[in-house]
Structure 1
Amino acid sequence: MPSPVLSAAHSVAALLPQHAPLVTATRDGLVESIHYGSAIALESDGTTAAAAGEPLAPFYPRSSLKPLQAVAMVRAGLDLPAELLALAAASHSGGAKHRQGALRILEQHGLSVSDFANSRDLPYGPAEREEWLRNGGRATQLTQNCSGKHAAMAATCIINGWPVKGYLDPSHPLQQLVAGTVIELTGEEPLALSTDGCGTPLFAMTLRGMARAFGLIARAAADDDGTAAAAVGLAMQRHPEMVAGEGRDVTELMRLLPGAVAKDGFEGVQLVGLADGRSVAVKISDGGDRARMPAIVRLLEALGVDASPLLPLATAPVLGGGHPVGLLQATDFLNQLSTPVNEAP
């Protein structure tokens, strides 16, 4: 009779995505670490230009959903200055401008921090966190990296006469609108449902679907077509320091690659949309944050993007005694597909 433990292990293994090796860290010529994952690059018409691993496997986009959530809120009447709309789509570092921006959104709509429903945390940025702690700060809802989004969500409720209390409930009108917007922009139904770290409803999508959404947002911004997607994309491009923060790679990517709309997510997620509607998406299987950018730059190169300005993001030195002895860099992972991308997951 088969062991229940072995049977359970076999069924879990059967569900594991077939990721490919995307990024390696070498030390004095020896491969010390390997980051596996899946990746996809889409042409502007949605066809696949390059891919690796299993890009149709369901995954949780985490905070890379924020631009899509922001599009839903603008459609529902949210009208903010560009820097505050960028903050609504942000995983901010928790600096003074981020905290003050979230407070401005609240104050403009007669709200306060007591209306937040997100979790508490210290500032996400290392420098911002150290400064906050030096001044006696503690974990709060305002310093949590999603506070801009939550301020915007509460404001959208006020604008529409919806109850602020319970705005994170999946049955709330706001979250129903978000769900419909995510489905529309990705072109796919959620493959699973969960709750993000901040408490917001979370949808499992595919890399292809998320890439499609970012391509649509970036192209709308380039066309400046007056849509909610254009407003969000332009706000992020014009205020990348609000989307993340100084010293953050997502902020730097948007500065170095004009016309791009970029957003990261916890557990090794990175999305980039380009002005002509092309897009790229990466999920690092072990959640390794350092592997996102080397993989995403390699995908951008596959689309013919001049990635030379992105070289500082594409590699990082591996140090020994404070001196470079190796390199973090992308593998030649393109077209290492485990599942044909034109098949349903």
Structure 2
Amino acid sequence: MPLNLHATFTVDAAVELAVIERSGFVESRHIGSAVVMAADGTVVTELGDITTPILARSTLKPLQALASMQSGVPLRGAQVAIACGSHVASLDHMDVVEGMLKAAGVTEEQLQCPPDWPQDETARNWLVRSGRGKSKLAFNCSGKHAAFLWACTENGWDTRSYLEPNHPLQQRIRSVIEEYCGEGIAHLGIDGCGAPVAAVSLTGLARAYSKLAKAPGDKNSNARAATVATSMLDYPWAVQGRGESNTIVMDELGILAKVGAEGVLVMATRQGASVAVKVLDGNVRATTLVGLTMLAAAGAVEVPEVSSVLEKVVDSVLGGGRPVGKIRLGRAVSALLDQTLAK
């Protein structure tokens, strides 16, 4: 029986990507699917179902930012990166977003993302001490929304309905997603920030990031796509936050990295090798381990470099405040690495 287009792939179509080991006992298992794509668009590695659509969540932000720029928004530097990002709302993050709003001639109140507390402790304490309370600037998608509003003011579009699927900006975003993913959108939902979110396949996501990552070195590529890729790597702190996994991967490996809610991660090297991961239980804690390992197994990045970064981004399993276990690769992924190391 074919899978309904309004549901992602099933447990039966997934593989074990990672396990959580505590005190020598496998406590939890993360199952899902993943794909590695070569720079020429061919599939190198396929684990589980990589063709059934998933809601791509925040991994779509670079494409949404690209659509805003194609709509005339003059984003530069950290503004581009934060429009692509899911930031922790540090004071620096909120300053960048506030500057975007000022340049667009709009106010924080016009943002249609919900108000939130910063994930960043310093910024959260400042909002508490100042009596300001939750802020829309602190929502992790505020950079994307600021770019959306700026696109509206640049084109004379209605700023109150910018999240509606029939809004000119959202129509352009859908076109960009389909162009870069190389496939049609299977379903359109509402993301956590209130914006439309598209369902596409892992293969489509990997294809889109491959195109973005190669853009700076391809004279025939879209110049704004090149700006997106370059800015994410030049300002990785603005994409997530200092000390956060995506930022560390981009800063130390020069690999585009973007996490999405519900267990989604996409990464791509400058040469265009890419990986897309979806963990079915929605937990992101194993995604970077799985994604980087699969890129290393495919020869897209050196194993020692990956190992050094993973030591910094993969959390320990704690008991009484000390390490008592670890997140480790599932058999399907570890076998790929073993084959590479044996060569």
Same fold (TM over 0.5): yes
Give the structure 2 partner of residue 281 of structure 1.
276
Q: Which residue of 2 aligns with 1:309?
A: 308
Matched, 1:250 2:246: yes
**Equivalents in 1 of 2:285, 2:123: separation in Å?**
20
Q: What is the distance in 2 between the residues matched to 1:80 and 1:107?
A: 13
Aligned partner (choices 167, 173, 185) of residue 178 of structure 1: 173
| Contact kept? 2:8, 2:54, Cα under 8 Å | no
Q: CA deviation at 1:221?
A: 2.6
Percent of aligned pairs sharing the same letter: 37
Equivalent-residue separation in structure 2 for 1:244 and 1:189 (angstroms): 28
Q: For residue 42 of structure 1, what is the amino acid of its counterpart?
A: M
Kept after mapping to 1: 8 A contact 2:34/2:50: yes
Distance of 1:181 and 1:154 partners within structure 2: 18
1:136-181 CA distance string (max 9 Å, x none):
4422211111111111110011111212120111000000000000
Is 1:190 the counterpart of 2:185 in the alignment? Answer: yes
- Contact kept in structure 1, 2:285 and 2:314, CA below 8 Å: no
Match for residue 236 of structure 2? Answer: 240
Quickly say closer, same or farther: Cα 1:303–1:107, change in 2 above 3 A: same
Q: Report if the CA contact (8 A) 1:297-1:314 is conserved.
A: no
Confirm whether residue 216 of structure 1 aligns to residue 215 of structure 2.
no
Q: Partners in 1 of 2:332 and 2:129 — Cα distance?
A: 44
* Contact 1:41 1:48 (8 Å CA) reproduced: yes
Which of residues 23, 27, 32 in structure 1 aligns to 2:22? 27
Q: Distance in 2 between matches of 1:268 and 1:208?
A: 16
Other structure's SS at 2:295 match: helix
User: Structure 1 residue aligned with 2:146, among 140, 145, 151?
Assistant: 151
1:41/1:74 Cα in 2 relative to 1: closer, same or farther (>3 Å)?
same
Q: Which runs of 5+ in 2 are unaligned?
A: 1-5, 336-343
Q: Please tell me whether residue 319 in structure 1 is matched to residue 318 in structure 2.
A: yes
Q: How far apart in 1 are the matches of 2:153 and 2:7?
A: 46
Q: Secondary structure at the match of 1:203?
A: strand
Aligned to 2:288: 293
CA distance in 2, matches of 1:332, 1:301: 16
Amino acid at match of 2:228: V
Question: Offset of 1:272 from its aligned partner?
Answer: 0.4
Q: State the TM-score, normalizing by the size of structure 2.
A: 0.89
Letter in 2 for 1:179: R
Counterpart residue identity of residue 176, structure 1? Q
| Residues 252, 118 of structure 1: alpha-carbon distance in 2 compared, 3 angstrom cutoff | same
CA distance 1:255–1:335, shift in 2 (3 Å): closer
Moved more, 41-50 or 125-134: 125-134
d(CA) in 2 for partners of 1:314, 1:106: 32
Q: Cα distance, 1:128 vs. partner? A: 4.0
Q: Are the equivalent residues in 2 in contact too, given 1:216–1:273 (CA < 8 A)?
A: no
- Distance (whole Å) between structure 2 residues aligned to residue 110 and residue 135 of structure 1: 25
Is the Cα–Cα contact under 8 Å of residues 295 and 314 in structure 1 kept in the other structure?
no
Q: State which of 65, 68, 76 in structure 1 corresponds to 2:60.
A: 65
Counterparts of 1:114 and 1:315, CA distance in 2: 37
Distance 2:290 2:118 in 1: 27
Structure 1 residues 63-121: Cα deviation after superposition (integer angstroms, max 9, x where no partner): 11000101111111111221111111111111111111111011112111122112222
- Does the 8 Å CA contact 2:51/2:201 hold for their aligned counterparts? yes
CA distance in 2 between partners of 1:197 and 1:315 (Å): 25
Q: Distance in 2 between the 1:283 and 1:126 partners?
A: 29
Distance 1:300 1:187 in 2: 22
What letter is aligned with 2:58?
A: S
**Cα distance per residue 1:237-273 (max 9 Å; x no partner):** 1000000011210000101112x21111111111101
Q: Is the 8 A contact 2:115 2:138 kept in 1?
A: yes
2:227 aligns with 231
Looking at structure 2, the residues matched to 126 and 288 of structure 1 have their Cα atoms a distance apart, in angstroms, of: 22
Structure 1: segments with no counterpart, 5+ residues: 1-11, 337-345
Equivalence for 2:156: 161
Distance of aligned partners of 1:303 and 1:13 in 2 relative to their CA distance in 1, 3 Å threshold: closer
> Which range moved further: 133-142 or 297-306?
133-142
TM-score (norm 1): 0.88
Q: Does 1:16 find its partner at 2:10? A: yes
Q: CA deviation at 1:331?
A: 1.8
